[in-house]
Amino acid sequence: MTRTPVIAGNWKMHLTRRKSSALARDVAAHHGHAENRRCVVFPTFVHLDHVRRNLKNSNVVLGAQNCWPKKEGAFTGEISPYMLRDMGVQVVLLGHSERRHVIGEEDALIAEKVKLVLRAKLDVMLCIGETLEEREGNRTFEVLARQLKSLKMVKPGQEGRVSVAYEPVWAIGTGKTATPEMAQSAHAEARSQIEGILGAEAAARMPILYGGSVKAGNAAELLSQPDVDGALVGGAALTIEQFGPILDAASA
Ligand code: 13P
């Protein structure tokens, strides 16, 4: 099974409107209409419209970093996946470790989000990953299995709109990257869990991205692992000087 590599930039709560627009133009120019890789950017909500306009003339996909699992209603401060779709968003990042561990989101809420994002006809990128304590306690696979249960919300026919990002919490923003072997072992385990939930064909087709201190210098080696189908990049996605070579590593 050959899976098209996906390189995604999670811009988190960074950049000004002007800088995110400029970065969008740079990413669009670098990626162009390449077909041997997919490129996704996740700007902060308030920059989505500007970024969308600046991605024109490319096939870079516009993503949002989060949403609320309701179509509309009295949810002050929240944003519906239908509003995101109306804005030109195609994919929503769900369950990022900062939402799980800083904001306190739990699996049940994330599962509801998976359900509504798919119902709104948007794609889902579901983040999973263990903390250092969980890894040291040999609980990595158990944590991945628990977090992947949100995929039970995926209905037949929706599987092709889902991707997973394995981001070990201890590797995010720390400069500590999982070794390619550690990443491969977690990705293979995740794929086998996905198979148990969605079947062999969906599991074989599903892109599983690695995230956590991905840089130009380690991207190619991580991407060479058989079950590593892309990268979800944080810090190194904020300049084209760093992000460009990661995009290139995916199509090398
Ligand atoms: P860093 O690449 O900065 O470690 O962030 C990874 C991440 O959280 C992407 O979602």
Secondary structure of the chain in HEC code, one letter for each residue: CCCCCEEEEECCCCCCHHHHHHHHHHHHHHHCCCCCCEEEEECCHHHHHHHHHHCCCCCCEEEECCCCCCCCCCCCCCCCHHHHHHCCCCEEEECCHHHHHHHCCCHHHHHHHHHHHHHCCCEEEEEECCCHHHHHCCCHHHHHHHHHHHHHHCCCCCHHHEEEEECCHHHCCCCCCCCHHHHHHHHHHHHHHHHHHHCHHHHHHCCEEEECCCCHHHHHHHHCCCCCCEEEECHHHCCHHHHHHHHHHHCC
* Residue 231 Cα distances to 44, 87, 154, 221, angstroms: 19, 25, 23, 11
Q: How open is the CA angle 185-188-193, to the nearest 5 degrees?
A: 125
Active site residue 96: yes
Q: Of 47, 183, 168, which is closest to residue 96 (Cα–Cα)?
A: 168
Distance between Cα 18 and ligand 1 center (Å): 22
Cα angle 147, 152, 156 (rounded to 5 degrees) comes to 140
- Tell me the sheet residues that pair with 64: 92
Residue by residue, pLDDT tens for the chain (252 residues) are 689 999 999 999 999 999 999 999 999 999 999 999 999 999 999 999 999 999 988 999 999 999 999 999 999 999 999 999 999 999 999 999 999 999 999 999 999 999 999 999 999 999 999 999 999 999 999 999 999 999 999 999 999 999 999 999 999 989 888 999 999 999 999 999 999 999 999 999 999 999 999 999 999 999 999 999 999 999 999 999 999 999 999 987
pLDDT at 252: 76
Closest CA to 92 of 190, 195, 161: 161
One-letter amino acid for residue 137 of the chain: G
- Give the ligand 1 atom nearest the CA of 236: 2
CA of 156 to the centre of ligand 1 (A): 31
> Can you give the C-alpha Rg of the chain in angstroms?
17
Q: What is the pLDDT of residue 129?
A: 98
Binding site membership of 213 for ligand 1 (Cβ less than 6 Å)? yes
Q: Which domains does the chain have, with CATH numbers?
A: 6-251 (3.20.20.70)
Q: Is 232 in the pocket of ligand 1 (CB under 6 A)?
A: yes
* Ligand 1 contact via 212 beta carbon (within 6 Å): yes
CA 235 to ligand 1 center in whole angstroms: 6
**Cα 229 from Cα 121, distance rounded (Å):** 23
Decide: 130 in ligand 1 pocket, CB within 6 A: no
Active-site residue among 105, 130, 159, 167? 167
